[in-house]
A = this chain, B = another copy of it.
Amino acid sequence: MRILITGAAGMVGRKLTERLARDRVLAGKPVLALDLHDIVPPEAPEMPNVAVTAHTGDLAAPGAAAALVASRPDVVFHLAGVVSGEAEANFDLGYRVNLDGTRALFDALREAGHAPRVVFTSSIAVFGAPFPDVIPDEFHPTPLTSYGTQKLIGEALLADYTRRGFFDGVGIRLPTICVRPGKPNKAASGFFSGIIREPLNGLPAVLPVPRSVVHTHASPRSAVNFLIHAAEIDGDRIGPRRNLTMPGVGVSVGEQIEALHRIAGDAVAGLIREEPDPTIWAIVQNWPTRFAANRARELGFVAETSFDEIVRAHIDDELGGKVG
């Protein structure tokens, strides 16, 4: 089993790499080679008897994708991409990386001709307001960002290249990943993680939106589980609709805070300061709230079932199981 991960230096890419380094097996087969690619050098784990190679470069550059897939990987995790805020700020960069890079990779795989499994991380950003209360699997994608547009185009290419038999693709639309480890960032969605992560580290956190805001979350651990399951699932079970909205926990911010309260107590939850930010609220009001995700659940994709579980996953995976 040869595996290629693009975007391997990103948060999800690093966690997927760690998981594969630990499991050393995918779809019941031993991992023999792991190729890690990113625009910045990805960290290559120590894996005895496994050929781990770090590649650095621009996937959209001529020949880059062909060189990368020359080893004929059996499974390709295509996670690479410019994030939402950057794709919005820099139109050309977003289209170059998220559209041209994806197409270059898909075309290189078509040329390689060995029809591997391709797991593509799409996003709930393919959806745009207004929304029904619960977004069904058959709801139309009408993105309101360039990032969402580029992900939607990636999904369309993935489905067509799969239908053509060039590869066997599975697109997974990730909900917001929470609790995101690391430092606070400037993303409009940053507070969803910040209000949990910072207090658990004994630090104050700002809540810029009303507690009534509802959003859907899955832990980084679930995101990796989705990727692994998408690599292992029988493609015939999926049928021609290759892009799946992943399950998650749809909760209000108030319910997020209640979960933190239950798990970490008054003092920790008390570190959250409400400081309304009309700009952030205006952005967040256009975001989807809840998803049915019935197809993904029926196909065996599993997420947390409560926000308490998401908080505990963060404490287990990032804080050594300890609160405070």
A contact set with B: CB distance below 8 Å:
91, 128, 137-144, 146, 149, 152-153, 156-157, 159-160, 163-164, 240-241
Contacts and interface: CB of A to CB of B under 8 A. Distances in A.
10 contacts: A128-B240, A137-B140, A138-B139, A139-B140, A140-B140, A142-B241, A144-B163, A149-B156, A153-B153, A153-B156
Nearest to A129: B240
Contacts of A91: 164
A49 to B, nearest CB: 40
A160 B156 contact: no
B138 A159 contact: no
Contacts of A142: 159, 240-241
Nearest to A107: B95
A146 to B, nearest CB: 5
Given A149-B156, A149-B157, A156-B156, 6 more contacts: A128-B241, A138-B139, A138-B140, A140-B140, A142-B240, A142-B241
Contacts of A163: 144
A80 to B, nearest CB: 19
Contact of A160 (B146, B160, B164): B146
